[in-house]
Structure 1
Amino acid sequence: MTDAAPHLRGPAGTTAGPWLRVLGTATLVVVFVAWGVAFAVGAESMFLLSRHVGQQRTDAMASASVVLTLVGAAVLLARHRRPLLVAGTVAVLAAGSLLLAGATNGYELAIGAALFTVAAACPPRTAWLLTAAVVVPVLVVARAAPLVTLVGSLAAGGVPGELDAVGWFRLPGQLGDVVPPWWIVTALPVVVLALFGVAFGTLVRTTRLRTAALEEAAAARAAEQEQRARFTQADERARVAREMHDVIAHSITVMVALGGGAAAALDRSPEHARHALEELVDTGRGALEDVRRILGVLHTPAPGAPHVADGDASGGDVLTAPQPGVEDLDRLVDRFRTAGLPVRTSGLVVAGLDGLDPTAQLTVYRVVQESLTNTLRHAPGTAAVDVVVRRAADALEVVVADRGAGPDAVVPAVTGAAGASRSPGRGITGMAGRVDAFGGTLEAGPHGDGWRVRAVLPGAGAGATRGVSAAPGPGSDPTTQGEA
C-alpha cells in the first residue's frame, strides 16, 4: 500500500494539529473497544447464544470478539501513517468478525474512520474505489455468514427458524410485526458510516488544499513584493551611483584643471588665476550641494520632510530640489572653457529649448557634462570641442566631438548593446542608461582624430515643446558649426 501520510501535512510541511489528531484517534479507539467488548461479554446476549449453540461455542465467539476488537484498535492507531493499508486491514477484520462472532462488533465505526482518513489524504477517485473495495466484501460476508442471522434474530427478540417466505423475522407476541433480514440490518450501518466518512474526508481534503493554495499564493505575492523591493533598491543604488559619478567625476576633473591653470597663471596673469580660483570654489560648492542632495536619497525622510520625486524616467530626479537643465548649459560650457577647453557650441540658446521635459533637460545636461569631462581628462590639449544640440520634429540630438589629444593619442571604443558604442567606464554606461530610458541611442567612439559622443532622444524634439522651430538636421557634421 502507498504511504499517504505526506498528504496530511500542512502547506509548510509540518503536521497540522498533532494534539487534535491524537485526541481524535484515542477517542475513536476507546469507543470502538467499548462497543466490541460490551457486545462480546453482554450477559443477555451470551445467555441466549449459549442456549442455541452451546456454552463452549459461545465462549469461543466472545473470545474472538475481544481479540478482533483489540487487533482492530491497534490497527486504527496507524491510520494516519498508513491510511490505505489500515482501511484494507479493517475490512478484513470486519469480515472475520462477521464470520466468527456473527456481528460487526463496532467495525462499522472503524471502517468509517479509516475511509475518512483515506479520503482526507488521497484523491477522491482513490477514496471511492477503496470504499467499494472495502464495503462490498463486507456486505457479501454479512449476507452469507450463518451466524449473522442467528445473532441478529436473538438480538431482535426473534425466534430462529420462524421466517416468512422472503426471510423476514416474525417477533413473538407481536403478531404481524416483522423485521428485515438481519444481514441488511448489519450491513446498513457499515454503508452509512462508510459513505459519511468518505464524504467528510473529501470535504476536509478540499478545504485543506484550498487553504494551502491560498497560503502558497500569499507566499508567492510576498516573495514577488520582496523581489520587486530588491530590484527597486538595486535601481536606486545604481541611480545614486550614476548621480555621484556625474557630480564627483565632473567636479573633481574641472577643479583639478582650474587649480592647475590658476597655479600656472599665478605669476604672469594674476587676474586670470583669480578668476580660475573663483570658478574652482564655485564648482566645489556646487558639487557639495549636489552630493548632499544625492545622499539624501539614502535616508528615509521624516514626516514633513522633502520626499523623493518620481518623475524622472532615467533616475535623475532624486529629490525635489531643482535639477540642472538646458538653461545651465552655458554656465557648464563656460566652466570648461575656464578650465582650458576650447568649447564651441551650437543650438544651446535656440528659443524654446528650455520648454523640454525636465527629465529630457537633465539627460541633455548630463550627456554634455560627461562628454566634456572625458575630453578634459583624456584630451586636455585638443584643438577644439564642438557641442551641438539639434532638434527635429520627432527627436533631439546631442553631439559632443573633440579633435583629439594629438596624433599619438589612443582612444579605445567598445561596441555595446542596443546599437550604442560604449566605453566600459561608468560614465558612458551612465549616459547610455539615461538615453535608453527614453528609448534613444548613444554612440561613443573614435571620430576622425578625436572622440565623438552622439545621443538621440526620440519624442524630445520640436514636437515636445511649444513654439520651437527645428534646427539643422542631424546629418551635418558638428565640427562645421560655428562658435556661439
Structure 2
Amino acid sequence: MTSVPEASHGPGAEPPRRGSGLLELTNRHQLLSDALLVAFLGMVLTAPLHWLFRQHPHLLFFQGALLVPLVLRRRAPYVVFGVIAAVAFLQWLFGGMIVTGDIALLVALYTVAVHCSRRRTWTAAAVLGLGNLLAVTRWADPARGWKGFIALCAMSVAAAMIGVNVHGRRDYLAALEDRAARLERERDQRAQLAVAGERARIAREMHDIVTHSLSVMVALADGAAFAVPRAPQKATAAMEQVSGTGRQALTDMRRFLGVLRADEPDALRHPQPGIAQLDGLATQVRAVGLPVRLRVEGDLAAVPAAAQLTVYRLVQEALTNTLKHAAAGAQATVRVSCHSDRVAVEIRDDGRPVEPSGEPGHGIDGMRDRVAAYGGVIEAGPLPGGGWRVATCLKLGEAADAGAGAPEAAEHGGSEGEL
C-alpha cells in the first residue's frame, strides 16, 4: 500500500484537491459523462466499418451490447464487466468474428481496477485472459496465434495496471486529505486547550491580586472605623494605607492586563514579583495588624523567575487566607529555602480559625495548579496545637517539562501565548 509521507503537509496545510475542471465535472455527473463516452466510442468504432455491419447485422447487435453497459461502469463496475464478458462469450459462440466493440472489455477491466479491490481486479484480469485465449484459438491464424495472444494479454495487463495505479493515486490523495483534516482538528484542539490554559492562568493571577488587596483593604478599613473615635490620626493613616493598597492593586492589574495587549509594549518592561519582593509583601501585611516573620535562605539567582513568581503568589495567598480566617492575635511565619534544584516553602500561623464564612474559595485550587507545574504538591491543613500550615517543594528541574514557562516569560508577565 502506498505510504503517506509525513512531511507532505504541516498543521496549517490545505487538503490536496482530487482534480479540477473536466475531471471534477465527470465525477459529479458520472452517468452523463459515461453515456457521452459510449456515444463517442460507438461513432468512432462503428462508422469506419459500416459496410461490415450492413452485411452482418447481428454483429451490430453485439457491437451495441458490448458498448452500452459502459454507461453504468462507475455505478457497478464489477457487474458491468461481468455483463460485457458474457456478451463477449456469446459473440465467441455465435458471432463469427471479432468486432471493434470488444475494446469495451479493456475499458471495463480498467474501471474495475480503479473502483474495486485488488482481488476483484485480478479475477477480472484472469477472466479476460481466458477470453483472449478462446479468441485466439478460434479466430487467429494457428501459425501466429501465440503472437496475437501475447498482444491481447499485454493490452489487458496494461489496462489493469493503469487502473491499479489510478486506484493507488486516489487512495493516496484520500489519505492526505484525511491526514490534513485530522491535523487541522488537532491544531484546533491545541488552540482551544491553550486558550483554556491561558484563561485559567489569568484567573489565578487576578484572584491573587484582587483577593489579597481587598483583604488588606477591608482589614485596614475596619481598623480605621474602629480607631476614628479614639485615635483619628491612626484612622487617617489606615485610610491612607487603604488608598495606597488600592492604587497598587490597580497598578498590578493594569500591568498584568497590559501584557495581554499588543498595543502596550511598555507593559513588558515591568517584571512580575518574585522572592525578593516578599519583604514588601510582609510589610504590607504587618501594617494590617498581622505580625509576619520572614526567613529566606539560599541563592535567589539560582531560582528561575517563573518559579519565583509561583513562590510569591503562594505566600501571598497563604497570608491572605490568614488575614481572612485567623482570629485576632495570630502570627505568621514564612520560610523560603532556595536550592539549585528545588525551592521549599512553608507558611504557618498560630491563630485559632474563626467561624467559616460558608463561601467556597479557589485559593487552594490555584495554589495546587501553580505548584503542580513544578512537580510539587500542596500540603495544607491545621496544626495539632492550633493554627494552619501550608507547605510545598518546587522541583526546578521539572519546570521545563511541565510547561511552567521560561524565565523570560515570567519576567514579562508569564504570557505563554496569544489569546
Q: 1:379 to 1:456 in 2, by over 3 A?
A: same
- In the alignment, does 2:151 pair up with 1:137? no
Whichever residue aligns with residue 271 of structure 2, its letter is P
72-81 or 354-363: bigger deviation: 354-363
Task: Measure, in 1, the Cα distance between the counterparts of 2:257 and 2:339.
Answer: 37
Task: Measure, in 2, the Cα distance between the counterparts of 1:362 and 1:78.
Answer: 71
Task: Measure, in 2, the Cα distance between the counterparts of 1:33 and 1:293.
Answer: 80
Q: 1:290 to 1:86 in 2, by over 3 A?
A: same
1:359: Cα distance to partner? 1.7
Partner residue, 1:246? 208
Task: Measure, in 2, the Cα distance between the counterparts of 1:396 and 1:424.
Answer: 29
Partner residue, 2:349? 402
1:94: Cα distance to partner? 1.5
Task: Measure, in 2, the Cα distance between the counterparts of 1:197 and 1:339.
Answer: 91
1:340: Cα distance to partner? 2.0
**Structure 2 unmatched ranges of 5 or more:** 1-14, 398-419
Partner residue, 2:187? 225
Residue pair 2:298, 2:337 contacting (<8 A) in 1 also: no
Task: Measure, in 2, the Cα distance between the counterparts of 1:296 and 1:108.
Answer: 78
Partner residue, 1:255? 217
Partner residue, 1:286? 248
Residue pair 1:94, 1:107 contacting (<8 A) in 2 also: no
In the TM superposition, 1:25-40 aligns within 5 A as 25-26=34-35, 28-34=37-43, 37-38=46-47
Whichever residue aligns with residue 430 of structure 1, its letter is G
CA offset digits 1:273-306 (Å, max 9, x no partner): 222122211111111112122323554x14xx52
Residue pair 1:32, 1:109 contacting (<8 A) in 2 also: no
Residue pair 1:327, 1:354 contacting (<8 A) in 2 also: no
1:71: Cα distance to partner? 2.7
Partner residue, 2:265? 306
SS of the equivalent of 1:347 reads strand
CA offset digits 1:297-317 (Å, max 9, x no partner): 554x14xx5299xxxxxxxxx
Partner residue, 1:127? 121
CA offset digits 1:23-67 (Å, max 9, x no partner): 763453134323664477415x86xxxxxxxxxxx6xxx332222
Q: Quick one: which of 17, 24, 39 aligns to 2:23? A: 17
1:244: Cα distance to partner? 0.5
- In the alignment, does 2:417 pair up with 1:458? no
**Structure 1 unmatched ranges of 5 or more:** 1-9, 47-57, 150-165, 169-179, 309-318, 413-422, 461-484
Q: Quick one: which of 363, 372, 376 aligns to 1:436? A: 372
1:256: Cα distance to partner? 0.8
Task: Measure, in 1, the Cα distance between the counterparts of 2:107 and 2:33.
Answer: 10
Larger radius of gyration: 1
Task: Measure, in 1, the Cα distance between the counterparts of 2:137 and 2:147.
Answer: 8
Higher helix share: 2
1:388: Cα distance to partner? 1.9
Task: Measure, in 1, the Cα distance between the counterparts of 2:360 and 2:266.
Answer: 33
Residue pair 1:112, 1:195 contacting (<8 A) in 2 also: no
1:99: Cα distance to partner? 2.7
Q: 1:167 to 1:264 in 2, by over 3 A?
A: closer
SS of the equivalent of 1:425 reads coil
SS of the equivalent of 2:98 reads coil
1:19: Cα distance to partner? 2.4
In the TM superposition, 1:49-64 aligns within 5 A as 62-64=56-58
Structure 1-normalised TM-score? 0.69
SS of the equivalent of 2:265 reads coil
Partner residue, 1:340? 289
SS of the equivalent of 1:400 reads strand
SS of the equivalent of 1:383 reads coil
Whichever residue aligns with residue 84 of structure 2, its letter is V
Partner residue, 1:86? 80
The one of the two structures with greater contact order (alpha-carbon pairs below 8 A, sep at least 6) is: 2
Residue pair 2:113, 2:164 contacting (<8 A) in 1 also: yes
CA offset digits 1:368-388 (Å, max 9, x no partner): 110011111111425322222
1:431: Cα distance to partner? 1.3
How many aligned residue pairs are there?
378
Q: 1:351 to 1:266 in 2, by over 3 A?
A: farther
Partner residue, 1:367? 314
Whichever residue aligns with residue 89 of structure 1, its letter is V
Residue pair 1:111, 1:193 contacting (<8 A) in 2 also: no
- In the alignment, does 2:153 pair up with 1:191? yes
Residue pair 1:32, 1:106 contacting (<8 A) in 2 also: no
Residue pair 1:354, 1:361 contacting (<8 A) in 2 also: no
Residue pair 1:72, 1:93 contacting (<8 A) in 2 also: yes
Partner residue, 2:323? 376
Residue pair 2:109, 2:121 contacting (<8 A) in 1 also: yes
Task: Measure, in 1, the Cα distance between the counterparts of 2:301 and 2:245.
Answer: 23
Q: Percent of pairs identical after alignment?
A: 37
Whichever residue aligns with residue 93 of structure 2, its letter is L
RMSD: 3.3
Task: Measure, in 1, the Cα distance between the counterparts of 2:272 and 2:58.
Answer: 94
Residue pair 1:401, 1:452 contacting (<8 A) in 2 also: yes
Q: 1:65 to 1:39 in 2, by over 3 A?
A: farther
Partner residue, 1:323? 272
Partner residue, 2:99? 105
1:72: Cα distance to partner? 2.7
Whichever residue aligns with residue 347 of structure 1, its letter is R
